[in-house]
């Protein structure tokens, strides 16, 4: 976040007294609106930090990571110090594991008095995100920042660090209004088949794993975070059902179709084995057995899907987002007679309205109608030869 401009100028900047001929510049605040500790050796106790409490109260690991990232960006904008990342060593191998966080890792948000948050500061932070010169933040993401700051303020109130009238004023900050066309799309069977052919033509552990991941995503509508969280203990070998934990720490049960179950059994029998642990793990050429204590990351799933797409026949220039596979599942189920309510349950959506956005783009019909009505108009005239 080095390119973020702080909304509070550091005290070391020269003043007008130093350069009397320099024109005055706009000033947001005459003093720091929120106290920031700049000595990296003196972080705030986390028991007194509403930001930490808010993150720690999140049930989802993904939510914790996202909110921590957002809070760190806000903290840096407020002038908090950059914090060096500490190395985490795997206790079993003694080697560095960059995917794991050191238990004593500190962050920029550990140095901000979040209980001093106010309406003015909140609005200025949101405006700075909106107007960033290089990477302006979308309205949807700014609303996530807004919700985060409201959550931190609520935590500060619960800790008796913020007055209720301050909290109520913070809650008056309006969300950004926007409308976006539905992102992503359902993919036809030929595209899914072309990607599966890449996996099925290579007889090794990685491609067996990837083929199972791909088919589970497109026949179960899983989120990627749900996929990588599956462990063998979540799979019932009698009923072929398996459970996943979705957003809001909500668990739901799904069932593997017979052909996917065959892939699953083959993957276990020939490569992974049936020991407890994560279903999808990293596979190393120099290691005889996979490390079952760590599942794949969502980023790795994204990379594998893109790698498969690039190698698939006839997909040059075809864009495939990982979330398209979830939309493909929803659309296939709807086209084959399932109700929106049934699909909502399978996808783990809290609202049927969200499910509808996966299935419908009502403007598509209008676009086609408009194009048909104008199909024969304003055709280019042939140039008459003289």
Q: Is 326 a catalytic residue?
A: yes
Contact (Cβ atoms closer than 8 angstroms) between residue 56 and residue 246: no
Contact (Cβ atoms closer than 8 angstroms) between residue 304 and residue 258: no
Beta bridge mates, 36: 112
- The values of phi and psi at residue 89, to 5°, are -105, 130
Which residue of the set 64, 247, 294, 311 is catalytic?
A: 247
Q: What share of the chain is helix, strand, coil (3-state, %, to 5)?
A: 45, 5, 50
**Helices and strands per DSSP (H, E), number in the chain:** 14, 2
Which residue of the set 54, 263, 326, 327 is catalytic?
A: 326
Question: Rounded to an integer, what distance in angstroms lies between the CA atom of residue 384 and that of residue 382?
Answer: 6
> What's the CA dihedral at 56, 60, 61, 65 to 10 degrees?
-70
Q: Is 367 a catalytic residue?
A: no
**What are the tokens at 366?**
């209008």
Which residue of the set 52, 70, 145, 358 is catalytic?
A: 358
Q: Is 102 a catalytic residue?
A: no
**In terms of DSSP H, where are the helices of 138-274?**
139-158, 164-170, 189-200, 205-220, 224-228, 258-267
CA dist 202 → 198, 206, 292 (Å): 7, 9, 23
CA dist 155 → 59, 60, 67, 117, 125 (Å): 15, 18, 14, 12, 19
Which residue of the set 73, 224, 304, 349 is catalytic?
A: 349
Q: Is 349 a catalytic residue?
A: yes
Question: Rounded to an integer, what distance in angstroms lies between the CA atom of residue 283 and that of residue 386?
Answer: 73
Please give the full DSSP string across 91-159, using - where no structure is assigned: TTT-SB-TTSPPTT---GGGGB-GGG--HHHHHHHHHHHHT-SSSPPPHHHHHHHHHHHHHHHHHHHHT
Which residue of the set 64, 150, 309, 323 is catalytic?
A: 323
CA dist 98 → 102, 109, 299, 303 (Å): 9, 21, 13, 17
Q: Is 358 a catalytic residue?
A: yes
Question: Rounded to an integer, what distance in angstroms lies between the CA atom of residue 253 and that of residue 259?
Answer: 18
Which residue of the set 73, 223, 224, 272 is catalytic?
A: 223
Would you name the residues annotated as active-site residues? 223, 247, 323, 326, 349, 358
């Amino acid at each position: 976040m080095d390119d973020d401009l702080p909304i509070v100028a550091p005290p070391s900047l020269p003043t007008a007294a130093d350069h009397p001929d320099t024109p005055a510049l706009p000033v947001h605040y005459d003093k720091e609106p929120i106290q920031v500790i700049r000595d990296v050796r003196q972080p705030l106790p986390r028991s007194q930090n509403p930001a930490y409490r808010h993150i720690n109260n999140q049930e989802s690991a993904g939510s914790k990571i996202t909110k921590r990232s957002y809070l760190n960006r806000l903290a840096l904008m407020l002038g908090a110090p950059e914090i060096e990342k500490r190395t985490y060593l795997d206790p079993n191998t003694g080697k560095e594991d960059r995917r794991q966080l050191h238990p004593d890792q500190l962050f920029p948000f550990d140095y901000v008095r979040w209980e001093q948050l106010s309406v003015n500061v909140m609005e200025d932070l949101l405006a700075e995100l909106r107007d960033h010169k290089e990477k302006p933040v979308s309205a949807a993401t700014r609303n996530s920042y807004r919700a985060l700051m409201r959550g931190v303020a609520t935590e500060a109130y619960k800790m008796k660090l913020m007055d209720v009238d301050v909290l109520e004023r913070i809650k008056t900050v309006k969300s950004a209004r926007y409308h976006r066309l539905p992102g992503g799309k359902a993919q036809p069977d030929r595209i899914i088949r072309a990607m599966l052919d890449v996996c099925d033509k290579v007889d090794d552990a990685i491609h067996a794993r990837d083929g199972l991941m791909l088919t589970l995503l497109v026949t179960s509508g899983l989120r990627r975070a749900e996929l990588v969280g599956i462990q063998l203990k979540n799979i019932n070998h009698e009923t072929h059902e398996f459970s996943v934990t979705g957003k809001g720490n909500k668990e739901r049960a799904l069932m593997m179709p017979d052909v996917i179950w065959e892939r699953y059994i083959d993957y276990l029998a020939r490569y992974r084995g049936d020991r407890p642990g994560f279903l999808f793990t990293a596979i190393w050429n120099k290691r005889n057995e996979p490390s079952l204590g760590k599942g794949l990351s969502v980023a790795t799933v994204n990379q594998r899907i893109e790698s498969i797409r690039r190698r698939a026949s006839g997909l040059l220039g075809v864009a495939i987002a990982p979330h398209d596979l979830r939309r493909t599942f929803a659309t296939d189920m709807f086209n084959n007679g399932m109700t929106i309510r049934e699909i909502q349950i399978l996808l783990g959506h809290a609202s049927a309205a969200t499910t509808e956005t996966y299935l419908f783009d009502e403007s598509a019909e209008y676009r086609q109608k408009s194009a048909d009505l104008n199909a024969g108009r304003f055709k280019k005239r042939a140039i008459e030869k003289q």
